[in-house]
A and B are shown apart, each in its own frame.
Chain A
Amino acid sequence: MSIRLEQVTKNYGNVQGISNISLEMEPGITGILGPNGAGKSTTMKIILGLSRPSRGIVRVNGNDPFTDWKLKRKFGFVPEYDCFYEHMSGLDYVSYFLRMHDVDKEKAEKMAREALSELGLDDSMERKINTYSKGMRQKTKVARATVFDPEILIMDEPFQGADPTTRGLLMKKLTEWAEKGKTILISSHILHDVQSLTDNIMLINNGKMLAYGDRHEIRKLMDNIPRPISIRPLKKGNIRNLAKRMLDEKWTKATTIDEENNELTVETDQSEEVYMELPRILQNEKVSVERIYSEDDSLDSLYEKLVEGAQWK
């Protein structure tokens, strides 16, 4: 299943929802990240055919999701908000939507039971939804969206309100579904969750797409933003000499010494060069190191840099 957005803009009156977003999604997990009001939900709704772009083209498997209602059988949607028939039980709710997929009554009930059971709702599936906790509601939403084995899963904050066990379970399931070749678009404000699921991300802010692709690749494009690389020598005494030596190199913008942790941080805008040159320098200076690392291409860091308004190439 392929999803393609071409120069998509969505305006709500004078307010711009999203602007000029182009992307092509292939099977696997894609994380969509951005602060509240960035345009994540709008992008998802446009892909789902719940909203029509003001400009641009949206195609899911070559078809327009807004007009092609039959295409909807391929979509599983977990909205951020609650959207329940509160008087129904979890089992009735999931069965009800299965019936909308033209599944007969007995089969729908069986499938709903299995889906809810798999997500740990064995004991509560026959209780009315208005008695459910936030976590149980979240699981019911996921069960409803996935029970008919959709090819595309659009999940808006699926971990919201989920306890650690549920979160772990959902992550396991998401990984399994991705391995089965499903196309999954997931938004979350918990960056760690997305980071542990996928490297493929889309960063969005103020309706504009800031970056899309592999997060490591995205970070590489941001060379004009100094990147911290930390070095921890084995011996304490080496750290000051090493800092001095590093300042001789043209790619070093600044160095910071953390005496307490025996750590030297080199800020550079040419990280590739640093990784190439560093072994030679350490060898010449006869410095053995315990660890060299950079946490700068973590999603938190990337997110902060992009969303806080920093520039990238």
Chain B
Amino acid sequence: MEMNLGEEIMAFARRSKNLFPPVAKDCTYRLLANKMTWILIGILLLPCLFGIILYNEFSEDREYEMQGDDKIYLFPDSEDNLVPLHKDLRETFVEQSDLFNISFVAIILAILFSSELINEEYTQKTMQLLRTTPIHSFEILLYRYIAGVLCMFGILGIYSILFYLTTMMGSGQYGIIENLDVLLLILKVLLFESIAFMGIFSVFTIYFNRPFLIGIIYWIIWESIVSGQNYQKITITHYLNSMLFDSTKEMGWDVVASDYNLVNSKDDIIATEPLTSMLIIIIITLIMLFLGTRGIANRQF
């Protein structure tokens, strides 16, 4: 009996309760059992370790003042004026997250995870078996994609919380609580980054035989070189930077568009509104999922 689109969607939603849990369990196991994941987690822990070492070195030099019940730590700036330490540390947290976590580790994780979750299914030939089961190609991709996004965001999110704590602990309890919005901003950017790059790299793993290499080339040429140029609006990095720029400006930070490379060659600001940025990232992801579904459905064995 033919079903209309509404019934198809309902059937799909109902089926997902059965289909998603085993896929998610298997994918999570595969990602966490992968040695490369642990190497990257090890690399991620280095800045946290560095933060702890730094804290031990400068914590005794701090001064503080009491504002009501709050103990605010102070630190001398370059002109020897005492300034609240948490303002300096939160900037370090955002800068380092942007440089290391967002621009480097997240991309490598996305390439690694999409390769493990989808390319491995082709290598191990389990994709052939999946294609002989009554599930739509979209379901084959979507559940793996969601599992990948959750794992990627989980790892990067936990890392960000740890990094935030180890960076901000110098500013005491007040500094940690006062700047939670900064942590939330980084988590939001990481979530959208996971959503976008898992989608893009999943498509690479479906269409190319050497997805890892293609992913690295894409990252270097597209997201690193083009993202600082006039045509940066065709990159994901532009929209992530726009989200960072707008939010830090909203928080009253002293930032300019060029800090996030959001200017063209004439020095005009070309930042995109954060809501528009999020929407564009979601639309790009949906397009990627559509292309990926087509790729799986049309791949022959």
Using a CB–CB distance below 8 Å, which chain A residues touch chain B? Answer: 45, 48-52, 69-73, 75, 77, 79, 81-88, 95-97, 99-105, 144
Contact in complex: A51, B126 (CB < 8 Å)? no
Q: Are A69 and B137 in contact (CB under 8 A)?
A: yes
- B129 interface hit (Cβ, 8 Å): yes
Q: Which of A52, A77, A83 contacts B124 (CB 8 A)?
A: A83
Closest approach, in angstroms, between the C-beta of A107 and any C-beta of chain B? 10
- Decide if B133 touches A97 in the complex (CB within 8 Å): yes
A96, B132: Cβ atoms closer than 8 Å:
no
Give the shortest distance, in Å, between B165 (CB) and chain A (any CB): 34
Interface flags for B111-126 (1: CB within 8 Å of A; 0: not) read 0000000000000111
User: In the bound complex, how far is the Cα of B18 from the Cα of A164, in angstroms?
Assistant: 38
Q: Counting CB contacts under 8 A, is B58 at the interface?
A: no
Beyond known contacts A49-B132, A69-B134, A101-B133: 14 more, CB 8 A cutoff: A45-B301, A50-B132, A51-B301, A70-B134, A83-B124, A83-B129, A87-B30, A96-B26, A97-B129, A99-B22, A100-B130, A101-B134, A103-B18, A105-B18
**In the complex with contacts A99-B19, A102-B19, A83-B132 CB distance below 8 A:** no
Give the size category of B's interface with A. Answer: 20 to 34
Residue of B22, B126, B130, B132 with highest tally of chain A CB at under 10 A: B132
With A69-B137, A88-B26, A96-B22 in contact, do A49 and B130 touch (Cβ < 8 Å)? no
Query: What's the minimum C-beta distance from B149 to chain A, rounded to whole angstroms?
Result: 21
Judge whether B134 and A72 touch: CB under 8 Å: yes
Q: Are B33 and A77 in contact (CB under 8 A)?
A: no
- Report yes or no: A75 in contact with B132, Cβ–Cβ below 8 A: yes
In the complex, chain B residues whose CB is within 8 Å of the CB of A45: 301
Whether B22 contacts A83 by the Cβ 8 Å rule is: no
B272 to chain A, nearest CB (A): 38
B87 at the interface (CB under 8 A from A): no
Give Cα A65 to B135, complex, Å.
13
Separation of A284 and B1 alpha carbons in the complex (Å): 70
Contact present for A100 and B134 (CB under 8 Å): yes
CA A84 – CA B135 in complex, angstroms? 18
Shortest CB–CB separation between residue B134 and chain A, in angstroms? 4
Contact yes or no, A83 B126, CB < 8 A: yes
- What residues of chain B lie closer than 8 Å to A104, measured between beta carbons? 18
Task: Check if B29 sits within 8 Å of A50, measured CB to CB.
Answer: no
Measured CB to CB, the closest approach of chain B to A100, in angstroms, equals 4
